Amino acid sequence: MTSPHDFWPAPAAEHPVTATVSIGGSKSITNRALIIAALSSTPSTIHGALRSRDTDLMISALEAMGIEIRTGSEYSGTPNRTLEVIPRVLRGGNIECGLAGTVMRFVPPIAAIATGSVFFDGDPEARVRPMGAVLDALRELGADIDGDTLPFTVNPAGDIGGEVEIDSSASSQFVSGLLLAGMRYPKGLTLRPTGDVPSRPHIDMTVDMLRQAGVTVIEDAPEDGGAFHVQAGEVRGRTWHVEPDLSNATPFLAAAAVTRGRVTVADWPVDTVQPGDRIREILQAMGCRVLLKPRGADGSGVHDLTVEGPATLHGVTLDMGDIGELTPTVAAMAALADTPSELTGIAHLRGHETNRLEALVTEINRLGGRATELDDGIRIDPIPLHGGDWMSYADHRMATAGAIIGLRVPGVRVENIATTGKTMPDFNIRWSEMVGLPLAQDGGQP
């Protein structure tokens, strides 16, 4: 076990990394499926649901509001499980958000229809994450809320719903959280996002899952304002099958890229709205060979994705506005490339688990690198790096970025590697196994 102030010696790869890895279920899909199931009128089953801190926090939040969730079979070899969700009338309770954006932004919109007051709080880092836009939007829709950031309380209100604008420039989760709840608002919901909407694929994921569940969601064309209209009504439970988390797969694929190795990720979905799928084209642009091969002939859409690292990794110039969560992985690779990189369109990352732009610049430069923060991104001019401590800022993707750099730079120590448990339990164990190192009795380095 590790404490928040422990430093994990990131394993350096003495040879090209060669491995096949299986990735746990998508956190984004798991938590959306849990919300939709909780708002349905009949039970739902979720197969392949990720078991991690963020999904456990979502389960605990829904249980605190009266929803019954039964844990079924575990998936051998993965941090996945089957969940049965039995909806109940939502009641008041106390919600612990941790550092989970999906909990602090998806649960308040459904708390607005609870029969009692719902109190929200979270980790110290969560108290500075943007929340005002979604809380103000809920007030305009008729909700009664005390507070503008964590901690805050959502009190019982009368009829809720109708039409509202929301500044979604800080997070797509503001839009998704309201859309997920709109079907249960007596007046339905018309939502007009304003500003540049980051991480648009996550909104597409929300709309796609709502439609799979039978919810009527109509989206206006951009030239007509781009509003979303969610029709109120009953939604019956269903069976969900959760895809592997493609964003969580990216550090493992990066291991091939930076070590001239060959890494295969099993069960890569071809027809997906996950933003993590964009890593394929990014790796190709950086010089990697990317192979997507079907497994079997049953037409199931299951493929294996293999990445072969190049002799020399190249820098890239990318607008990552839709795929901001991939920035730490791409920045880590860029720091080990042979030409400069500019990653832009990601000003909203300043409001993620930490200010990821500032954190990436600070940590790359701490190891002797040359990174510069831009108005809406980061520039990285690769120069030789040296070992040292890499701080994680309680941010799972910062921790994995440090592990990637550590493959090529001996002596990197990642602070609080346990924070990866937010979405990837036992990441350090799986990473060491991939590199081919033996494990100590406690799962750390020998």
Catalytic residues, by residue number, are 325
Tell me phi and psi for residue 49, to 5 degrees.
Answer: -65, 135
- What is the C-alpha separation between 330 and 251, in angstroms, rounded? 9
Q: 101 a known binding residue?
A: yes
Where are any strands of DSSP class E within 289-392?
289-294, 302-308, 317-319, 341-344, 371-374, 377-380, 388-390
Q: Kindly give, in sequence order, each residue whose CB lies less than 8 Å from that of residue 215, ignoring residues fewer than 6 positions away.
A: 36, 183, 230, 231, 233, 235
Instruction: Check whether 171 is labelled as a binding-site residue.
Output: yes
CB atoms within 10 A of CB 268: 24
Task: Count CB-CB contacts under 10 A for residue 204.
Answer: 17
Of the chain, the end-to-end C-alpha distance in Å amounts to 14
Query: What is the spatial distance between Cα 428 and Cα 229, in angstroms, rounded to a whole number?
Result: 43
Is 397 annotated for ligand binding?
yes
The Cα-based distances of 441 to 1, 68, 431 in angstroms read: 10, 37, 16
Annotated ligand binding at 199? The verdict is yes
Give which of 186, 240, 187, 190 is closest to 210, Cα–Cα: 240
Least Cα distance to 243 among 291, 180, 302, 179 occurs for 302
Q: Is 28 known to sit in a ligand binding site?
A: yes
Annotated binding residue at 27? Answer: yes
352: annotated binding-site residue?
A: yes
Residue 435 parent element (H or E): helix 427-435
Binding residue per annotation — 32? Answer: yes
φ, ψ of residue 112 in degrees (nearest 5): -65, -15
Instruction: Detail the residues annotated as belonging to a binding site for 3-phosphoshikimate.
Output: 27-28, 32, 171-173, 199, 325, 352
Instruction: Detail the residues annotated as belonging to a binding site.
Output: 27-28, 32, 101, 129, 171-173, 199, 325, 352, 356, 397, 422
Instruction: Detail the residues annotated as belonging to a binding site for phosphoenolpyruvate.
Output: 27, 101, 129, 173, 356, 397, 422
